[in-house]
C-alpha cells in the first residue's frame, strides 16, 4: 500500500489520481489534515505532526511506500517561521525513521528550487553549487535534503527526492508559494480577462507543467535503486519564463487579456532563486525528459479551464 501525506495539496491531488490509475484505487491511501469530501477511494485524516497516528496507519494499512508532500510553502512559511520549521522538519523525521526501523521500504519527499540563494549561479544552476537559502522554507528544504542523504548513506534508507521548480496545473490550486502567480494567471485570464501579478514583469523562474512533474516523480520512484546516485535531491529543470512571457503566451489565445504588475514581499523571494536549472543528472541517472514547453502547457491549461468556467 502507498501512503500519500498531504493528498489535498497541489501535488497531492494529482499524484493520488495518477498513482490510483496506475496501481489501482485500493492500493493508494490518501491522507490529509482535512477531510477531503470529494476524494474517492481509501482516505484517512492525518496531521503530519501526529507521529502515533502515522505509525497506526502504516501498520493498519500495511504501508510500504510513503509520498510525504505536506509542507508550508515559501510565502506562507515566512508568516509562520517557527511552525514552518517544525512542520517541514519533524514530519520528515517521522517518515525517515519509519524507514530506518524497517517499517516502510521507500520514501518520496519533495525539495525545491528554494534551496538556492542569492550567491547561487542563477542561469542553468548546477546540481552541486552554492546553497544559501534566505527563506525559512528554503532552509527547511536544504536541511531536509541533508537528512535524506544522511539516512540513505548511514541507515540504507531508500529515499528519493526532486527539487521541484514552480508547479503549474489546472486541476488543483497551490497554497502560499512564490510561483503561484503562474497558476492564478490562467484562472483570472478566463474569469476576468486581466491579472495583477505580484512579481515584476522580468522575474524569470524555473517552472514545470504538473503533467511533467507527476511523471518525473513516478519515474524517479520506479527507477532501479542503483540508478539513484543523488541521495539528497535531483535538480529538475522544466521551463523558464517571466510573467511578461506567460502573459504574451496567454494573449495568443485570449487576445484581450491584460496584465499589470504590483510586486509585493514575494518579489524578494523570487529574486533570490535561480532563473533556470541544469538537470543533467536526472537525465543521465533515470532518463528524465521534459515534454511540455510554455506554449504547449498554456494551450492545454486554457482548453481544460475553459470547460470548467463555461
Q: Which is nearer to ligand SER, 99 or 269 (CB)?
A: 269
Enumerate residues 145-164 that contact ligand SER by CB under 6 A.
164
Q: Which is nearer to ligand SER, 113 or 302 (CB)?
A: 113
Q: Does 235 bind ligand SER (CB under 6 A)?
A: no
137 tagged catalytic = yes
Q: Does 240 bind ligand SER (CB under 6 A)?
A: no
Q: Which stretch binds ligand SER (CB under 6 A): 26-34, 124-132, 172-180, 279-287?
A: 172-180
Q: Which is nearer to ligand SER, 20 or 144 (CB)?
A: 144
Q: Which is nearer to ligand SER, 29 or 120 (CB)?
A: 120
Q: Which is nearer to ligand SER, 151 or 164 (CB)?
A: 164
Q: Does 114 bind ligand SER (CB under 6 A)?
A: yes
How would DSSP label each residue in the chain?
-EEEESTTSHHHHHHHHHHHHHH-GGGEEEEESS--TT--SSEEE--TT-HHHHHHHHHHTT--EEEE-----HHHHHHSHHHHHHHHHHHHHHHHHHHHTTS-SEEE--EEGGG--TTS-STTB-SSS-----SHHHHHHHHHHHHHHHHHHHH--EEE-EEE-EEE-SSS---S-SSTHHHHHHHHHHHTSEEEESS-TT--EEEEEHHHHHHHHHHHHHS-GGG---SS-EE---EEE-HHHHHHHHHHHSTT-EEEE---THHHHHHTS-S-B--HHHHHHH-------HHHHHHHHHHHHHHHH-
In angstroms, give the least distance from the CB of 307 to ligand SER: 26
Q: Does 177 bind ligand SER (CB under 6 A)?
A: yes
In angstroms, give the least distance from the CB of 4 to ligand SER: 18
Enumerate residues 93-112 that contact ligand SER by CB under 6 A.
112
How many residues of this chain bind ligand SER (CB under 6 A)? 11
Contact 131, 117 (CB under 8 A): yes
Taking CB positions, which residue lies at the least distance from ligand SER? 177
Q: Which of 29, 15, 16, 9 is nearest to 216 (CA)?
A: 15
Q: Which is nearer to ligand SER, 32 or 180 (CB)?
A: 180
Enumerate residues 34-73 that contact ligand SER by CB under 6 A.
73
Question: Cell digits for 179?
Answer: 510561483
**Active-site pick, 67, 94, 137, 181:** 137
In angstroms, give the least distance from the CB of 100 to ligand SER: 26
Q: Does 115 bind ligand SER (CB under 6 A)?
A: no
Rounded to the nearest angstrom, the gap between the alpha carbon of residue 59 and the centroid of all alpha carbons in its chain is 27
Which residues sit at the interface with ligand SER, rule CB under 6 A? 73-74, 112-114, 137, 164, 166, 177-179
Active-site residues, by number, are 137
Amino acid at each position: 500500500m502507498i501512503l500519500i501525506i498531504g493528498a489535498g495539496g497541489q501535488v497531492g491531488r494529482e499524484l493520488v489520481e495518477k498513482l490510483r490509475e496506475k496501481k489501482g484505487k485500493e492500493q493508494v491511501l490518501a491522507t490529509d489534515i482535512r477531510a477531503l469530501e470529494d476524494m474517492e477511494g481509501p482516505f484517512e485524516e492525518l496531521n503530519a505532526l501526529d507521529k502515533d497516528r502515522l505509525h497506526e496507519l502504516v501498520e493498519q494499512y500495511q504501508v510500504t511506500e510513503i509520498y510525504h508532500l505536506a509542507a508550508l510553502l515559501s510565502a506562507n512559511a515566512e508568516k509562520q517561521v517557527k511552525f514552518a520549521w517544525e512542520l517541514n522538519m519533524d514530519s520528515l523525521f517521522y517518515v525517515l525513521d519509519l524507514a530506518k526501523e524497517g517499517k516502510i521500504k521507500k520514501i518520496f519527499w519533495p525539495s525545491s528550487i528554494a534551496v538556492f540563494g542569492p550567491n547561487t549561479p542563477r542561469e542553468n544552476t548546477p546540481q552541486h553549487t552554492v546553497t544559501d537559502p534566505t527563506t525559512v522554507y528554503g532552509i527547511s528544504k536544504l536541511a531536509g535534503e541533508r537528512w535524506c542523504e544522511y539516512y540513505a548513506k548511514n541507515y540504507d534508507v531508500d529515499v528519493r527526492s526532486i527539487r521541484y521548480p514552480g508547479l503549474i496545473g489546472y486541476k488543483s490550486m497551490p497554497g502560499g508559494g512564490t510561483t503561484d502567480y503562474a497558476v492564478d494567471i490562467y484562472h483570472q485570464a478566463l474569469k476576468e480577462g486581466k491579472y495583477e501579478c505580484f512579481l515584476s514583469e522580468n522575474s524569470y523562474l524555473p517552472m514545470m507543467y504538473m503533467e511533467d512533474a507527476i511523471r518525473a516523480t513516478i519515474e524517479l520512484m520506479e527507477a532501479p535503486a542503483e540508478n539513484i546516485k543523488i541521495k539528497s535531491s535531483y535538480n529538475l529543470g522544466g521551463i523558464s519564463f517571466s510573467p511578461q512571457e506567460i502573459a504574451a503566451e496567454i494573449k495568443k489565445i485570449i487576445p484581450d487579456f491584460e496584465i499589470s504588475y504590483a510586486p509585493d514581499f514575494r518579489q524578494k523571494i523570487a529574486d533570490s532563486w535561480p532563473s533556470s536549472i541544469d538537470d543533467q543528472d536526472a537525465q543521465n541517472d533515470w532518463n528524465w525528459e521534459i515534454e511540455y514547453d510554455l506554449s504547449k502547457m498554456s494551450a492545454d491549461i486554457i482548453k481544460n479551464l475553459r470547460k470548467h468556467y463555461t
